[in-house]
Structure 1
């Protein structure tokens, strides 16, 4: 685990005082403890998370995690290839939905 906390505040920004328990587990446990563990790189954690969210069809969270994976070194081409591969294992509709989210992210970035 990292010596310093990441200072992640996504849960706080999303929910503030509305859901303090969810804020705590999101910011302090998930992003400050789990994501900072040394046994997997953030890049690898990003790919694993994209795979899980694609498999589950969770496109709201996938939108964030595709971008987060990119910030952690996963290329757009690698994400396209991962999603294509996942489509065969997670179901074609989940693959199509995930690719649509990635296309939207990359297209909006270029406009």
Structure 2
């Protein structure tokens, strides 16, 4: 699993905060995501759960695409969101479903 995770960080952010971008790309996506303790699919499901639970819909489109690349099916995402609705709240789950429908 040496495929690199392509970030979608805009050039403006790269210019403004190069260290922030470097840490995100080299530590988060290269070291943390590549730790073999969890599979990429497990990491994607965990990340989606975390984003939904805190209501961070801005990051969801990127992580939904990454989850798909990591083997998470749309059916699994829908099941995850349905499950999460009972633990983190219906509005947060509904907001995540709205992102998927776009």
Q: Structure 2 length normalisation: TM-score? A: 0.89
Structure 2 CA distance for partners of 1:41 and 1:7, relative to 1, 3 Å: closer
| Shift, 1:7, TM fit | 6.6
Structure 2 CA distance for partners of 1:80 and 1:9, relative to 1, 3 Å: closer
On the 8 A contact 1:10/1:27 being kept in 2, the answer is: no
On the 8 A contact 1:11/1:24 being kept in 2, the answer is: no
Structure 2 residue aligned with 1:32: 30
Q: What whole-Å deviation, never above 9, does each CA across 1:21-64 have from its counterpart, x for those lacking one?
A: 21011111000110111000100000000000000000010111
Structure 1 residue aligned with 2:62: 64
Where structure 1 has 5 or more consecutive residues not aligned to the other structure, the ranges are 105-111
Where structure 2 has 5 or more consecutive residues not aligned to the other structure, the ranges are none
Structure 2 residue aligned with 1:109: none
Structure 1 residues 29-38 or 13-22, which shifts more?
Answer: 13-22
Structure 2 CA distance for partners of 1:7 and 1:102, relative to 1, 3 Å: closer
Structure 1 residues 7-16 or 72-81, which shifts more?
Answer: 7-16
Are 2:84 and 1:94 aligned? no
Q: Structure 1 length normalisation: TM-score? A: 0.82
Q: Number of residue pairs matched?
A: 102
